[in-house]
């Protein structure tokens, strides 16, 4: 069935609208789950990246998060104020600032292990369904997602 140009132009048929609405709703689902951890959704993403690899430079972290360094920098400063990360000069290159997890930042990972499970419960989906949905979005993400 071919849609007419008028039908294609309807708000409800716009991919951009569906993605923006879904993104806003996903962040709303995470909010009460992350609140007991003391993290916002963007801070959670930073912590996920650091739990995978630490120390990291600001530029490396920003690239992995698909954000600008100027966007990530205030997140790092807030996480540092909370005692979860520290910014230190690199021992190999004094010009480089490394972002490293503190003991509290590493310990927070244990509490965060339940986050994916709670999100799946909130949306009524399992790992396979979440993975398929995530993988279906990969053409819009600019890179291939890792497997769950």
Residue 62's CATH number:
1.10.10.10
Residue 145, pLDDT > 60, answer no
For the residues 75-99, what does the mean pLDDT come to?
A: 90
Domain extent, residue 72, equals 39-108
Give the confidence band of 148 by pLDDT, cuts at 50, 70, 90.
very low
Work out the pLDDT band at 95, boundaries 50, 70, 90. confident
pLDDT above 90: residue 1: no
* Per-residue confidence band for 146, with pLDDT thresholds at 50, 70 and 90: low
Residue 36 has pLDDT above 80, yes or no: yes
Q: What per-residue confidence (pLDDT) applies to 2?
A: 84
Could you tell me if residue 72 is inside a domain?
yes
In the predicted model, is pLDDT for residue 98 greater than 60? yes
In a domain, 144, yes or no: no
Q: Is residue 82 part of a domain?
A: yes
Question: Which pLDDT does position 99 carry in this prediction?
Answer: 96
Give, to the nearest 10 degrees, the angle between helix 41-52 and helix 58-65: 110
The number of beta carbons lying within 10 Å of the beta carbon of residue 3 is 10
For the entire predicted model, the pTM comes to 0.87
Cα distances (angstroms) measured from residue 35 to each of 2, 11, 82: 46, 33, 14
Question: Would you say 57 and 97 are in contact if contact means Cβ atoms under 8 Å apart?
Answer: yes
- Classify residue 69: in a domain, yes or no: yes
Asked if residue 118 belongs to a domain, the reply is: no
**Domain for residue 102, yes or no?**
yes
User: What per-residue confidence (pLDDT) applies to 143?
Assistant: 52
């Amino acid at each position: 069935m071919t849609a007419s140009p008028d039908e294609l132009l309807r708000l409800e048929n716009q991919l951009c609208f569906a993605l923006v609405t879904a993104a806003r709703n996903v962040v709303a689902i995470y909010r009460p789950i992350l609140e007991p951890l003391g993290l916002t959704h963007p801070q959670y993403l930073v912590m996920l990246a650091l739990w995978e690899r630490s120390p990291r430079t600001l530029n490396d972290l920003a690239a992995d998060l698909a954000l600008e360094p100027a966007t990530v920098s205030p997140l790092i400063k807030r996480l540092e104020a909370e005692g979860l990360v520290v910014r230190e000069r690199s021992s190999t290159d004094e010009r480089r600032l490394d972002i490293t997890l503190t003991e509290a930042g590493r310990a927070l990972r244990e509490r965060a292990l339940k986050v994916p499970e709670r999100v799946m419960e909130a949306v009524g989906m399992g790992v396979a369904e979440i993975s398929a949905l995530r993988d279906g979005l990969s053409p819009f993400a600019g890179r291939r997602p890792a497997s769950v």
